[in-house]
Amino acid sequence: MVIIDKHSHTPAYRQLFLALRSDIENGVYRPGTKLPALRTLAHDLGIARNTVEAAYAQLVKEGYLCSRRGSGYVVNDLDFSILGASRETESTAEPRVSSGSELGTNPLGDNFGCTFDFCYGNKTGDSFPCATWRALTSEALSGDSIPGATSYSDRFGLPGLREHIARYLKESRNITCSPRQIVLQAGTQEALHNIVTLVDHTQRRVAMEDPGYSAARSVFSSRSCQIDPIPVYQGESGFLSALDDSNARLLYVTPSNQFPTGNVMPLPVRLKVIEWAADNDSYVIEDDYCSEFCYVGSAVTSLFDLDRTNHVIYLGTFSKILSPALRLSFLVLPPALVKRWNVFFPNYLSPVPWLSQEVLRLFFERGHWQKFVNKAKKDYRERHDLLLSCIETELGGCFDVMGSSAGLHVLLGARDQTPQQVLIDRARAHDVRVYGTSQYWMNRSHPLNNYVLLGYSSIENEMIPEGIARLRRAWLS
Amino acid sequence: MVIIDKHSHTPAYRQLFLALRSDIENGVYRPGTKLPALRTLAHDLGIARNTVEAAYAQLVKEGYLCSRRGSGYVVNDLDFSILGASRETESTAEPRVSSGSELGTNPLGDNFGCTFDFCYGNKTGDSFPCATWRALTSEALSGDSIPGATSYSDRFGLPGLREHIARYLKESRNITCSPRQIVLQAGTQEALHNIVTLVDHTQRRVAMEDPGYSAARSVFSSRSCQIDPIPVYQGESGFLSALDDSNARLLYVTPSNQFPTGNVMPLPVRLKVIEWAADNDSYVIEDDYCSEFCYVGSAVTSLFDLDRTNHVIYLGTFSKILSPALRLSFLVLPPALVKRWNVFFPNYLSPVPWLSQEVLRLFFERGHWQKFVNKAKKDYRERHDLLLSCIETELGGCFDVMGSSAGLHVLLGARDQTPQQVLIDRARAHDVRVYGTSQYWMNRSHPLNNYVLLGYSSIENEMIPEGIARLRRAWLS
């Protein structure tokens, strides 16, 4: 017998509908059975006749019942045996929080509750221009009718924002491109996903640096690409001969600041990489993820700027300057690939919210961007210098520092060859979190097993001296 | 001779660097050539010696020059011949605005400047809750340190938001799921992209309704899937026999409101679809894109709710209720696919900005969602009734209406079999934009060539009577 809960948020007719539907599915009412008359059921349940009628009408609409003139409502002849099994649901216990960080994709992991966390990728909580963003959001959403807020927008991204990006690329990287070559993307992974489809959709063979950015590799893996590792650690000749042996249609590199080693790709290698792409009808994806942060001179010439053969795809991001929480990156495509994009993705809908784009456009237009970049550069340079001076003081002579000339992380290598896991565990025992580098390698017998990674974008300046002092105690006493 | 522009935004050292680099690449300075001494060049250019030194240092850092003790700066031996061709750039003319709509992916097109535009997909400019969104954005971005705003966030989406979605699905669709089964996505296309990778990454065979949503089909095409059309227009037996003949691992359907016909999938077909998936170890993607808008009874039972075999993937979106500009949709995965997601996408970074998620979470938490949905339902019902009464008055007897029981569009078919292109052209001559339906078909000799599509989510109520009156003049006089 159905009990109608009159205090429920679910309307009475819907409660009755769900109960009767369940009874039909479970065979309580078999095919051909006539359901109780409206009046009778209404009386039995103490509800209005209209309510019963609404429930029956929905059952008719959905095909559970038919209504026959003179003979009332009859259960249709349906085979519900496929529904026999009871449905499996994930435990409704508290949902597990699965941050990228937990999965080593942050790229670098959970802090295990450590007080001193040299996490890479995230930024300090006070680094986002919240007040400006609030004000610009209010501006973007003011007025009576805002077509941008209620429509699908340009599939390449707002033209005004792309113009600002093109101008910034010219000023900061000497990159000459038209806004028409720029496609906004919802992060590096989405961009790579699309590039695989665009360039390599049948061959599925990608070359990438080893070690290299694991979140990029995982996109290629998920697309079933064969991945040719190109060693960055066997000198130029090792790199170039591996590249020559590869038939990949795509090469993924981080030439300005190799991730995670921090090496700069030497000019002869840059030229060879471009030549390789041009000769093999392949494309180079240049992930220029943190060219703004360069502590020795200015950022090196980008491959995109160097290339005149139109075989370089430039990939930029707002994750490092502004925030990874924005999920905003962009591709600069060679003209031929712009055409190909139009052919391959004729119905592409931009995955980037209009509001994010419009607020960032205003952020440029009102002159906030340049000021913010300058301040971020200054802040990170100070933090970089502080970190390195602490490392020199506390660990100098016993650890090698790699990759300190640019970016937002360094590698520390134990001269006595202590393995990274031992370093990580000892640090953790002193309430400091440092990170492994093994996940970046395809070559499992790699030569940097004594190196750990320390990011410095998410740790406060005040924490650095004590954090590094603790590392000395953890590692050297 | 280099001219240094002291009024440029580009620092003098960088202007000199770029000029010298260009000279080296172009062979003005050949390998082995010694560059002018610092002092000499500084004097010639009227700039500081430090400036020249900085430019030379950057050239050394990048590998263009080497610095030899006693012999100054010498050009390295590099082969720049690969750079010989001059680089092609897209015309820097005003970027072409390429909205989804222009490309028929909006899904429905440019209005050609028509005053009366029955566009589908977009919404009226005043339909977004701007004031509330502004207030909630301010709330989300207030405080000194906001870790969410500066970090990679949960790769499935904010847990608090997923809990609200799970609750809403239970209330509105009787769907029982754990928040752990929900994955936020940056739109339907991204969701389908991921599902293809997850379920069908090697076989690449997808079945979908014909006619069907072209933006979905285009994702499958871009992934090189073979697409089996399952006719929705040849009765149940036609549908089921085509499905039985398909070996697809995925079936994409819109059972609550077939796009674009507006049909509701009959219950026997629903049961068979589930049985087909369970028997073939396949999955059904149920795109429930507008179940909130139902004008006859309430929305029909979802496949996901009906299914106990765990072979249905539910796909929901915030595009119709809130706005397509949000780029926010979600998957509800069967438990086995949640596990598979973790295996396939271990390094997946959510493409949805934290701020969108947090503001939407607050929108639920503060009770705005339910009020907003109720108002939207009421508004669209009024607009729907107005549209249908205008159609009845102006076009009744000469046109058939299809798909008016739910959703945000109807199809209008000319009883005299006038082809859609003629209808479109005549309407346009009267300043009214209606849309074709051919792009939704794989079967090019489809039977609905006399049908056009009219959306009513982006046209103001005041425009509807005159718009339909113009259609009468265009089509019937």
Q: Given this model, what pLDDT does residue A2 score?
A: 73
Q: Given this model, what pLDDT does residue A84 score?
A: 65
ipTM above 0.85 for this complex: yes
Could you tell me if B434 and B120 are in contact, meaning their C-beta atoms sit under 8 angstroms apart? no
Query: Can you state the angle between helices B38-45 and B49-62, rounded to 10 degrees?
Result: 120
Give how far the C-alpha of residue B201 lies from the chain's centroid of Cα atoms, to the nearest Å: 21
Give how far the C-alpha of residue A431 lies from the chain's centroid of Cα atoms, to the nearest Å: 28
Q: Given this model, what pLDDT does residue B291 score?
A: 84
Q: Given this model, what pLDDT does residue B94 score?
A: 43
Q: Given this model, what pLDDT does residue B63 score?
A: 87
Task: Kindly report the nearest CA distance between residue B422 and chain A, in angstroms.
Answer: 25
Distance from the first to the final alpha carbon of chain A: 75
Give how far the C-alpha of residue B105 lies from the chain's centroid of Cα atoms, to the nearest Å: 9
Global pTM value:
0.90
Whether the per-residue pLDDT at B296 is higher than 90: the answer is no
Q: Residue written as tokens 């063979």?
A: A205
| Lowest-confidence pick of A76-80, B116-120, B330-334, B356-360 | A76-80
Greatest C-alpha distance within chain A: 97
Q: Given this model, what pLDDT does residue A88 score?
A: 64
Whether the per-residue pLDDT at A111 is higher than 70: the answer is no
Closest C-alpha to A349, from B391, B186, B461: B186
Q: Given this model, what pLDDT does residue B361 score?
A: 97
The pLDDT-based confidence of A5 (bands split at 50, 70, 90) is confident
Q: Pick from A106, A130, A142: which is nearest to B149 by CB?
A: A130
Torsion sign over Cα A54, A59, A62, A67: negative
Q: Pick from B148, B179, B268: which is nearest to A78 by CB?
A: B268
Spell out a b/e string for B275-310, using b for 16 or more CB atoms within 10 Å of the CB, else e. Answer: bbbbebebbbbbbbbbbbbbeebbbbbbbbbbbbbb
For an interface test with B, which of A105, A122, A130 has the most B Cβ atoms less than 10 Å from its Cβ? A130
Whether the per-residue pLDDT at B214 is higher than 90: the answer is yes
Token readout for B161 is 């938001």
Q: What integer best gives the mean pLDDT of chain B?
A: 90
Distance of alpha carbon B204 from alpha carbon A420, whole angstroms: 41
In tens, the pLDDT along A301-338 reads: 999 999 989 999 999 999 999 999 999 999 999 999 99
Q: What percent of chain B has pLDDT over 70?
A: 94
Whether the per-residue pLDDT at B249 is higher than 50: the answer is yes
Distance of alpha carbon A233 from alpha carbon A230, whole angstroms: 9
Q: What percent of chain A has pLDDT over 70?
A: 94
Spell out a b/e string for B65-90, using b for 16 or more CB atoms within 10 Å of the CB, else e. Answer: beeeeeeebbbbeeebebbeeebeeb
Q: Pick from B155, B271, B310: which is nearest to A87 by CB?
A: B310
User: Which residue in chain B is spatially nearest to A144 when comparing CA positions?
Assistant: B126
User: Do residue B152 and residue A179 have CB atoms under 8 angstroms apart?
Assistant: no
Closest C-alpha to B12, from B63, B52, B61: B52
The pLDDT-based confidence of A86 (bands split at 50, 70, 90) is low
Task: Kindly report the nearest CA distance between residue B178 and chain A, in angstroms.
Answer: 5
For an interface test with B, which of A87, A139, A154, A196 has the most B Cβ atoms less than 10 Å from its Cβ? A87
User: Which residue in chain B is spatially nearest to A11 when comparing CA positions?
Assistant: B171
Contacts of B149 in chain A (CB under 8 A): 125, 128, 130, 323, 325
Contacts of B127 in chain A (CB under 8 A): 150
Query: Can you state the angle between helices B188-200 and B214-222, rounded to 10 degrees?
Result: 40
Could you tell me if A236 and A266 are in contact, meaning their C-beta atoms sit under 8 angstroms apart? yes
Total Cβ atoms within 10 A of residue A357 = 23
Contacts of A323 in chain B (CB under 8 A): 149-151
Average pLDDT over residues B178-193: 95
- Three state DSSP letters for chain A: CCCCCCCCCCCHHHHHHHHHHHHHHCCCCCCCCECCCHHHHHHHHCCCHHHHHHHHHHHHHHCCEEEECCCEEEECCCCCHHHCCCCCCCCCCCCCCCECHHHCCCCCCCCCCCCEECCCCCCCCCCCCHHHHHHHHHHHCCCCCCHHHHCCCECCCCHHHHHHHHHHHHHHHCCCCCHHHEEEECCHHHHHHHHHHHHHCCCCEEEEEECCCHHHHHHHHHCCCEEEEEECCCHHHHHHHHHHHCCCCEEEECCCCCCCCCCCCCHHHHHHHHHHHHHHCCEEEEECCCCCCECCCCCCCCHHHHCCCCCEEEEEECCCCCCHHHCCEEEECCHHHHHHHHHHCCCCCCCCCHHHHHHHHHHHHCCHHHHHHHHHHHHHHHHHHHHHHHHHHHHCCCEEEECCCECCEEEEEECCCCCHHHHHHHHHHCCEECECCHHHCCCCCCCCCCEEEEECCCCCCCHHHHHHHHHHHHHHC
Whether the per-residue pLDDT at A452 is higher than 90: the answer is yes
Whether the per-residue pLDDT at A112 is higher than 70: the answer is no
The pLDDT-based confidence of A349 (bands split at 50, 70, 90) is very high
Could you tell me if B45 and B16 are in contact, meaning their C-beta atoms sit under 8 angstroms apart? yes
Whether the per-residue pLDDT at A207 is higher than 90: the answer is yes
Contacts of A150 in chain B (CB under 8 A): 122-125, 127-128, 323-325, 458
In tens, the pLDDT along A29-42 reads: 888 889 999 999 99
In tens, the pLDDT along A117-138 reads: 999 999 998 899 999 999 999 9
In tens, the pLDDT along A136-180 reads: 999 999 988 898 999 998 999 999 999 999 999 998 998 999 999
What is the phi-psi region of residue B390: left when phi exceeds 0, alpha when psi lies from -120 to 50, beta otherwise?
alpha
Whether the per-residue pLDDT at A105 is higher than 60: the answer is no
User: Do residue A178 and residue B64 have CB atoms under 8 angstroms apart?
Assistant: no
Residues 6+ apart with CB under 8 A from A135: none
Task: Kindly report the nearest CA distance between residue B64 and chain A, in angstroms.
Answer: 7
Q: What percent of chain A has pLDDT over 90?
A: 69
φ and ψ at residue A49, rounded to 5 degrees: -60, -40
Comparison of pLDDT for B380 and A299, the residue scoring more: B380
Task: Let me know how long chain A is.
Answer: 477
Cis before B266? omega within 30? no
Task: Kindly report the nearest CA distance between residue B415 and chain A, in angstroms.
Answer: 27
Q: Given this model, what pLDDT does residue B109 score?
A: 47
Q: Given this model, what pLDDT does residue A4 score?
A: 84
Q: Given this model, what pLDDT does residue B99 score?
A: 42
Whether the per-residue pLDDT at B93 is higher than 80: the answer is no
What is the phi-psi region of residue A302: left when phi exceeds 0, alpha when psi lies from -120 to 50, beta otherwise?
beta
Distance of alpha carbon B252 from alpha carbon B313, whole angstroms: 10
Whether the per-residue pLDDT at B126 is higher than 70: the answer is yes
Which domains are delineated in chain A? 12-83 (1.10.10.10), 116-127+371-476 (3.90.1150.10), 130-369 (3.40.640.10)
User: Do residue A154 and residue B98 have CB atoms under 8 angstroms apart?
Assistant: yes
Average pLDDT over residues A236-265: 94
Q: Pick from B87, B125, B181: which is nearest to A308 by CB?
A: B87
User: Which residue in chain B is spatially nearest to A194 when comparing CA positions?
Assistant: B222
Total Cβ atoms within 10 A of residue A57 = 18
User: Do residue B130 and residue A142 have CB atoms under 8 angstroms apart?
Assistant: yes
User: Which residue in chain B is spatially nearest to A54 when comparing CA positions?
Assistant: B297
Total Cβ atoms within 10 A of residue A235 = 12
| Lowest-confidence pick of B29-33, B102-106, B373-377, B389-393 | B102-106
Q: Given this model, what pLDDT does residue A107 score?
A: 41
Average pLDDT over residues A407-414: 96
For an interface test with A, which of B196, B326, B327 has the most A Cβ atoms less than 10 Å from its Cβ? B327
Closest C-alpha to A183, from A334, A47, A1: A334
Could you tell me if A376 and A292 are in contact, meaning their C-beta atoms sit under 8 angstroms apart? yes
Task: Kindly report the nearest CA distance between residue B351 and chain A, in angstroms.
Answer: 5
The pLDDT-based confidence of B175 (bands split at 50, 70, 90) is very high
